[in-house]
Structure formats: structure tokens, C-alpha cells
Amino acid sequence: MFYLIITLAIGLLVPFQIAANSRLRQVVGPAYVSTLVSFSVSTLALLLVSLLSGSPIVPTGQMLADASWWSWFAGLVAVVTITISIHLFKEIGPLQAIIIPMFSQLIFSLLIDHFGWFGANVIPLDAKRIIGSLLLIAGVTLVVVLPKLKAQRQDASTVKGSRQLFWQLCAVVSGCLSASITGVYAQLSSVVVANGGNPMQATTVAFFVATVVLLLFCTLNGSVRLIGKAFSSEYPWWMWTGGLCGAIIVFGNAWLVAHVGVGVFVMALLVGQLALSQLMEHYGWLGAPRKRITWPQIVGILLMLGGVALIRL
């Protein structure tokens, strides 16, 4: 239960991360520049904590040999996922952009547990996990789907036909990649820990690789100069803290999945995210448009909590 509570608490950071990164992108412009700023802050935070705690940073030769080569590039997969997500809102509308990745991430995370993909501990998809998942889906429907269907005004720029199908498939891929990243970070962490390291070391290396690649890309296209805007006194100081949230979330991923499984981690993260998102909208925190939370949404959050608790019983 301790690990489940920690996972729910980490999920509370996701809305702050989204709000900060959204504001950051408004200031610096291109999505890849705001992503670079966020990843740079995450990497620096992880490096600083590692240095202060005396934790090693550079992986040993044995770690490199035991871990799959692609696991060290998990941060790049996160960049791809973020890039896809940014385009989804424009291409298929906010409802589909949220729901399709969310449900595909949930389903794929349960499959990762069931088949033990990415070195995850095998957790069979039994009746209890299926019922818990259905409770979660019902909760998401009450919290997100119904309110958006009621208030939805389809944008004229939303594409139709084969192009829409393409972006819907991209949304599915985005959700599956998000679940995969969770499994990959956990697998990389287990290898590093088995060779005398710690989860911090695994996440630091993965973030560092992604940051270097993004920095190289921004340097080549001449957009590095935009980074300075992120730290200008003209704009809110908190907009670069999305990187700090990201570092905590990914470190929690690497540490907690071994204890709760990929499926429960994804589900608990989702519950924490949606619960705080509703509060942020209800009170208008961080500039969020104020929307009163409704009783169906409260019931939906409780259903989601019940679903996660059932799986962990």
C-alpha cells in the first residue's frame, strides 16, 4: 500500500508538469525547444542530486553489457511521444487526443505485465485486474469523456478522412509508447541496481542522452537562442519547473514499477493526474480556466481509486 500511495502522489505532479510545459511553449515557441528546456532542467536536477548523494553517474561496462542497448535511449522515445501529443490536439481534437492515448496506454501496460515484456515481472491478467480496469475506464468516462462531449465544439481545422485515421493511429501509438517507456525505465533500473547502481543513475543517463540529442538538433537549426526566454524575469518563474516534475516522475517510474507493476503504476499515475487536474480547474490554479467540479466527476475519481485499490488488494 505504501508504494501505491507514493505512486498516486507522483501522479499529482503530472498536471503541474503539463501546465508548466504548456506555458513554456507559449514563451519559447517551437515544441522541440520547450522540450529541450524541460529535459535540460530534469537532467541537471538528477545530476545535482546524484552528486550531492554521492551516487555514481557514469554506467559501468557491466551495466552497458547487461542492459539492452535501446534501453539507454528511452528518453528519446519520450521526446517522440511528446511530439506526437502536441500535434494530436490540432489534428483530431482535444477529446480524442486525450482519450485514445489514455486508453491505449492502460491496455498496453496491462499487456506488458501479463506477458512480461521489457523484462517486467509477469502479472497475469486475471478477473480482479479486468474489473479494476473497467472501474478505471468508467471513472475516466465520468471525469473526462462526458464533460467534453457535452461542451465539445469541433474545430473546423480538425481533419477528416484518411488523415484523421492516420492521427488516430498515431494517438494509439503514443499511448503504447508511454506504457513502453514505463517498462523500459524499470528494466534499465533493475539492471543498474543489480550491478551496484541505483535507479537515479539509470534515469540520469537516459535523460542526458535525450538532452544531448535535442541540444544538437536545436543547435543545427539555429533555435538554441530561444532557450534564454525560458528564464527571463518577464515570464512566470514556475514555467521551467515542468522539468523538475518530469525528473521526479521518471525516477518514481524506475523505482516503483518493480514493486507495483507497470499496469498499476500507469493506473495510479492516471488517477493522481486527473484528481489534481479537476482541482486545478475548479480553483483556477496556475492560470487554468475555472470549471466547477461536478458530482459525476467526483464519483468518477472514486471509481478510479476503487479500481486501483481492487487490483492491489
Structural contact between residues 130 and 280, judged by C-beta atoms closer than 8 angstroms: no
Residue with cell 553517474: 57
Q: How far is CA 78 from CA 121, 156, 207, 289, in A?
A: 22, 30, 10, 28
Per-residue tens of pLDDT for the chain, all 313 residues: 788 889 989 988 988 888 888 788 888 888 888 889 989 999 999 999 888 888 888 888 899 889 888 888 888 888 888 878 777 877 887 678 788 888 999 999 999 999 999 888 899 999 999 999 999 999 999 998 888 777 665 444 455 567 888 988 999 999 999 899 888 888 888 899 899 888 888 888 888 999 999 999 999 998 888 888 888 888 888 888 888 998 899 888 888 988 889 999 999 999 988 898 888 888 888 777 788 889 999 999 999 999 998 887 6
Looking at residue 220, its pLDDT comes to 93
Looking at residue 205, its pLDDT comes to 87
Residue type present at position 78: A
Looking at residue 156, its pLDDT comes to 45
pTM of the predicted protein model: 0.81
Structural contact between residues 286 and 132, judged by C-beta atoms closer than 8 angstroms: no
Looking at residue 155, its pLDDT comes to 47
Residue partners of 156: CB distance under 8 A and separation at least 6: none
Looking at residue 160, its pLDDT comes to 58
Residue with cell 480538425: 158
Looking at residue 98, its pLDDT comes to 80
**Domain definitions of the chain by residue range:** 2-312
CA 210, CA 218: separation in Å to the nearest integer? 12
Looking at residue 151, its pLDDT comes to 65
Residue partners of 185: CB distance under 8 A and separation at least 6: 74, 202, 203, 206, 250, 253, 254, 257
